[in-house]
Amino acid sequence: MASTSFSSANRLCKQFDVFLNFRGEDTRGFTNNLCDAKVIFTFMDDYEIERGDEISPALRKAIEESKISVVVFSENYDASSTWCLNELVHILECKKNNGQTVMPVFYGIDPSVVQKQNGSYGIAFNKLEERFRDRIEKVHQWRAALTEVSNLRGWDSKNYWPECKLVQKVVEDILKELPKYRSSFEHSKKLLFGIEKNIKEVESRLSIGPKDVRIIGIWGMGGIGKTTLATIVFERLSDEFEGCCFLPNVREQQARHGLDHLRRKLLSNLLDDEDILRMDTLVGASSFILHRLRRKKVLIVLDDVDSSILLDALVRENHQLAPGSRIIVTSRNRQVLKGVSDDIYKVQRLNSFESFHLFCLHAFKSDPPAIDDQKMISEVIKREKIFKPRYSRCVENQL
């Protein structure tokens, strides 16, 4: 089994645009052709996430952050892979809770076989019921998931020949669906009060010395909006670069997977080369990789970095990047950014006007609020001004 997520230049409205759920060598050619479509860039989890009966937290997050899930049913997509079926269940949870779009592809198999679980699916489920007789509710859940997805609008491969027409149709329909989510993202940005002034400030600092490689630090206390700011700047500027990479939660990823994994992931995304992820080590291959890197103007975001040693290791090749390349680093610790960044921007807090409207939106689900509520809101904000500066100074002194 393999699972794939698609994203446009690794952008992060959410982390991924499309998640691909499939199993079996019989679909490998089709799924590879989908991944090779130039409108789609691919992140493969085959060699990054360990297998097991339960899907990993990393894969759950990839599904949750996708806008669309495409499920490829085939003869070999059967109940022998509980991992694959659990993916499917989680996809439907995201459809219910997050409004995610789910689209099935029936690849060389009749939709009724999936819907009713007969044929090869029936044989596999008989074995599964025996294996999970003490947890038969799981089997019922998997059956229900197959039936539900098989009833959704999708594509039947027997209606498209040659296969390239099926690939083209799938890609076309995905591209028609994605703007709905992008419009939603644009609307959500309007609700991020005070973000525009921070965006303009960061973009202004990035524009200095266009022929140089420039590193900008974004600094501020936890929860103030550093990641959101870096995400929106990345989304706005991605089209201007030949290679892009957003590495989220660097601190957590380094603790979980190690520094070498992070470096390989970074270089793999920038060079659009998945073979780099398969390398046991970058030693010996570095000179060739860096030679390729010198020819690309790239945009990199390293989110939530807490170690100057880690940061230095990730950006040490920045002098090898093509002129005009940009690196954005977010951190709660200003000391981490010193000595590495060309400029450090402190994220600005909301002013009274922005605080008022944000409070109204979240507390009363309306902006402006009812007249009776306005006096109470003014009193809350007045008290917040008295106590918060003391707390803020305390926190900043520790950074």
Q: Considering the domain 192-346 in this protein, what is its CATH number?
A: 3.40.50.300
Averages of pLDDT over runs of 10 residues in the chain (399 residues) are: 39 59 76 61 41 64 84 79 87 89 94 91 91 92 95 93 86 79 52 76 87 90 86 85 88 86 85 76 64 85 90 75 91 90 88 69 61 65 53 41
Residue 75 a catalytic site member: no
**Catalytic entry in 64, 65, 87, 235:** 87
pLDDT in tens, 8-34: 333 333 356 788 888 766 777 787 777
Terminal C-alpha separation, the chain: 45
Q: Which of 310, 233, 291, 299 is nearest to 269 (CA)?
A: 299
- Is residue 219 within 8 A of residue 226, CB to CB? The reply is yes
Q: Which residues contact 128 (CB under 8 A, 6 or more apart)?
A: 79, 80, 82, 139, 142
| The pairing of beta strand 155-156 with beta strand 326-331 | unpaired
The CA distance from 235 to 16, in Å, is: 13
- Is residue 198 within 8 A of residue 231, CB to CB? The reply is no
**Fold held by 2-182:** Rossmann fold (3.40.50)
Domains 2-182 and 192-346 share a fold: yes
The amino acid that residue 158 corresponds to is K
Question: What is the DSSP track for 125-173?
Answer: HHHHHHHTGGGHHHHHHHHHHHHHHHTSS-EEGGG-SSHHHHHHHHHHH
Question: Count of CB atoms within 10 A of residue 63's CB?
Answer: 22
The amino acid that residue 239 corresponds to is D
pLDDT in tens, 306-339: 988 888 888 876 667 888 999 999 999 999 998 8
At residue 41, the pLDDT reads 41
Q: DSSP 3-state assignment of 4? A: strand
Q: What is the pTM of this model?
A: 0.52
At residue 301, the pLDDT reads 93
Domain boundaries, the chain: 2-182, 192-346, 352-398
The CA distance from 56 to 35, in Å, is: 23
| Residue 248 host element (H or E) | none
Question: Count of CB atoms within 10 A of residue 319's CB?
Answer: 9
